[in-house]
Amino acid sequence: MKNNSAFICGLLWFGLLTMRAESRWALTVFELALFALAALLVVQRRFAIRPHPVALLLAAAALWGVLQVALGISVDPQPTLQASLGWTVNCAAFSLALVLTNRRFLTAQLVFALILSIGAVIGLLTGFGLGPFVYKNQFANYVESMLGLAIAAAIQDRRRAFAWLLVATALFACVVAAGSRAGAILCLAELVLLPVIAFARGWISARSLTRVAALAVLAGGVFTAVVGWEAILRRFQEPNPYSLRANLLRSSLRMVRDRPLAGFGLGAWSTAYPAYARYDDGTFVNQAHNDWVQWAAEGGLPMLVMMAAVVAILARPAFNSLWGLGLLVVWIHAWVDYPFEQRPALAAFFFGMAGALVTVSREARPPDESSPALPPSESSLPED
């Protein structure tokens, strides 16, 4: 079981595929399965476990929510307890991926991402929505976490470089078709910057960088033309597209100033927000559209520091692996949206990938530019 990534892989896919389920049964099954698998691993290891710092921070976030309820800090205890459960799930997903994932896990995730993204765009074009994704930006968040994997594969897997580049550009085109402004900008940044970073680190030559750039532009243009760019063009033409987010940000910052240490309770932002709203048009606002500020408003500065520490710990393996930089892009997108809120299974997926990042990056080595065909064992990405 130690080297079998199928268990955690299947669970993460189940969570993603059932995000649109209206009743809570799917999420409950997902959570219980994660906890059961984690308990089984603990028993098999005879309770001899060494928690990773990220796992400890996620556990602390879950405990902080419970303390907010126990101390009477939370303005809405029920969503705070639900948020604590969500952080416990994130901790379990990270810890399981830390133990169970390997390089094959990454290949499986990348192939699944391509299939799921193409299916989502087909659903969008035929009127059935973005597959299991309710919100276009959350679909973009998912692709952001996978795009770095595809780009790194194109750079580091010489034998299948062209195929992986096609996967990367296809994923980018799917985000464009979905109409996510920030997602399209960030995915384009990944396509441009990750090869440049690889070149700066001496992983590829100037000739390889030029070849990758040319193929990315050509394939990206073709795929984008196929799926269409009308939706994203309309989004960019909208006047003052971030005016609502700006007002929500100002209100959330006032919330932080009022309770900088205690916060209003994890998951309780929507309950506390009306008292700080800058205007009221009768619309229910469920999220701050900025996870970082929402964490600070709900959990105070302690929660904000914990999340910043998680990103700081993941930064080194992200740079070592190259593909992990795509995963960190999700935390960047969180400054203007809410990839870690509302859909617990999606957040658990990101933390599961973070666990895989920590594990697989330990085996990462830069590609051998002198070899025309990089052996699978030499790549930081998995073999098929």
Q: Tens of pLDDT along 291-304? A: 999 999 999 999 99
Q: Is the residue at 278 inside a domain? A: no
CB 55 within 8 A of CB 91: yes
Q: CB-based burial of residue 23 (10 Å sphere; 0-12 exposed, 13-18 middle, 19+ buried)?
A: exposed
Q: Is the residue at 261 inside a domain? A: no
Rounded CA separation 144/138 (Å): 10
pLDDT at residue 64 is higher than 50: yes
Of 56-60, 179-183, 368-372, the range with the lowest mean pLDDT is 368-372
HSE-up (13 A, CA, CB side) for residue 35: 11
Rounded CA separation 8/105 (Å): 9
Confidence band (pLDDT; 50, 70, 90) for 273? very high
pLDDT at residue 176 is higher than 70: yes
Residue-averaged pLDDT of the chain: 88
Q: What is the pLDDT, as a whole number, of residue 236? A: 64
Per residue in 198-255, pLDDT tens? 999 998 889 888 888 888 888 777 777 766 767 667 766 677 767 788 889 999 999 9
Rounded CA separation 83/61 (Å): 9
Q: What is the pLDDT, as a whole number, of residue 22? A: 85
**Confidence (pTM):** 0.91
Q: How many domains does the chain have?
A: 1
Q: Is the residue at 257 inside a domain? A: no
Range of the domain at 366: 6-239+289-378
Average pLDDT rounded to a whole number, residues 25-49: 88
Q: Is the residue at 274 inside a domain? A: no
pLDDT at residue 370 is higher than 60: no
Q: Is the residue at 195 inside a domain? A: yes
Per residue in 129-148, pLDDT tens? 899 999 899 999 999 999 99
| AA identity, residue 284 | F
Confidence band (pLDDT; 50, 70, 90) for 368? very low
Q: Is the residue at 283 inside a domain? A: no
Q: Is the residue at 252 inside a domain? A: no
